[in-house]
């Protein structure tokens, strides 16, 4: 009889997890994923905005180099393509949302802008424009 009881106990141990146990584990994993998502997604947008600001500063540095070589900034029509040609770059970086940076020569001063997440001028939050004009005013 003892061997029969031992076999029954061994079978119970080998059965694995019940459906309820699996559902509890999946629910817990879902709650953890939701909590992480709520905490991480706003930081992702903030990181994209910081990346755009850094890219704009780098483009401004390239503009200064262009100015020392050519004596003036490129006109709006030529745009950032002039930097690629003059500084032997393969291409200009895209903003963190996958669009080209906008360049305008406003009275001899270069202004580089990303239109944010929505790709349209204006906006608030992650849709807000990020511009060298704003960065220069803060410095």
**pLDDT tens profile 71-130:** 999 988 888 888 887 777 778 889 999 999 999 998 888 999 999 999 889 888 888 999
pLDDT value of residue 135: 67
Please report, for the chain, the start and end positions of each structural domain, with discontinuous segments joined by +: 41-135
pLDDT value of residue 19: 86
pLDDT value of residue 4: 67
Phi-psi region of 89 (alpha: psi -120 to 50; beta: other; left: phi over 0): beta
CATH of 41-135, one of 3.40.50.720, 3.60.21.10, 3.40.980.10, 3.30.700.10: 3.30.700.10
Q: Cβ of 58: how many Cβ atoms within 10 Å? A: 12
CA distance 75 to 120: 22
**pLDDT tens profile 29-83:** 999 999 888 888 888 889 999 999 999 999 999 899 889 998 999 988 888 888 8
Whether the predicted model's global pTM rises above the 0.75 cut: no
pLDDT value of residue 12: 61
Q: What is the rounded radius of gyration, in angstroms, for the C-alpha atoms of the chain? A: 28
Q: Six-digit token pair at 6?
A: 């031992």
What is the β-pairing status of strands 109-114 and 130-131? antiparallel
């Amino acid at each position: 009889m003892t061997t029969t009881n031992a076999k029954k106990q061994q079978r119970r141990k080998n059965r694995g997890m019940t459906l309820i146990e699996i559902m509890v584990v999946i629910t817990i994993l879902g709650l953890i994923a939701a909590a992480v998502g709520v905490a991480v997604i706003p930081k992702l947008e903030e990181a994209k905005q910081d990346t755009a600001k850094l890219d704009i500063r780098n483009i401004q540095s390239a503009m200064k180099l262009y100015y020392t070589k050519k004596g003036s900034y490129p006109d709006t029509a030529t745009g950032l393509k002039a930097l690629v040609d003059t500084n032997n770059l393969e291409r200009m970086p895209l903003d963190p949302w996958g669009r080209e940076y906008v360049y305008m020569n406003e009275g001899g001063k270069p202004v580089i802008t990303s239109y944010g997440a929505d790709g349209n001028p204006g906006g608030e939050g992650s849709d807000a424009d990020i511009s060298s004009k704003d960065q220069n005013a803060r410095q």
